[in-house]
Amino acid sequence: MKRIVSTAAVAALLMSGCTSFTGLQPATPPDYTGTTVNVADQVRALGPQQLHIFEMVQVDGRRLASSSMATTRAGQGGGMTVAPVALTNEMPLQTTRVRLQATTQFPSPLVALSHPACRTIGEVTFTPEEGKRYVVNGRIEQQVCDVWIEEAGSGRRASETVTGPGTDH
């Protein structure tokens, strides 16, 4: 009987956690009715087994569907290759707090163990301008991993840079 009560208690705790999880949401708040701009994640294939992903994962605390999650889903059952997927988000024309991520992605944990990788994540302030398009960009190198938002085409940075340790850490 004691085991049944313990199992029921654990199940109740897990279910209560699930009810508070809001899931994935759009980058634009549900009550926003104004103009939006496009912000695209960027996925760079370095070969069939390695990607560098520069993406938005949260906006003002709302968790977004991310390119790294979409890439993982697209590659399921694909053997030892990765299938790159780059998502885009529509952002409101207002100042927001955006969580950016630069990460290296592989088709499996086993492949990741034998290759240098990076994961840098942090928040920046972003104020998009009407009529412009943006892309999440960055660099992953031995000494440093950076990620930022920039204007598409011109390359002018539109946010601060999140910096983390490189692949040699």
pTM of full prediction above 0.85: no
| Residue 110's pLDDT band (cuts 50, 70, 90) | low
Separation CA 50–CA 115 (nearest Å): 9
Phi, psi of 41 (to 5 degrees): -70, 165
Distances (CA, A) of 83 to 7, 14, 68: 39, 33, 10
pLDDT score, position 3:
36
What are 16-69's pLDDT values in tens digits?
A: 344 344 587 878 888 888 999 999 999 998 888 888 999 999 999 999 998 988
Would you say 54 and 39 are in contact if contact means Cβ atoms under 8 Å apart? no
DSSP secondary structure code for residue 110 in this structure:
H
What's the mean per-residue pLDDT of the chain? 82
What are 58-105's pLDDT values in tens digits?
A: 999 999 998 988 887 776 666 666 778 999 999 999 999 999 999 998
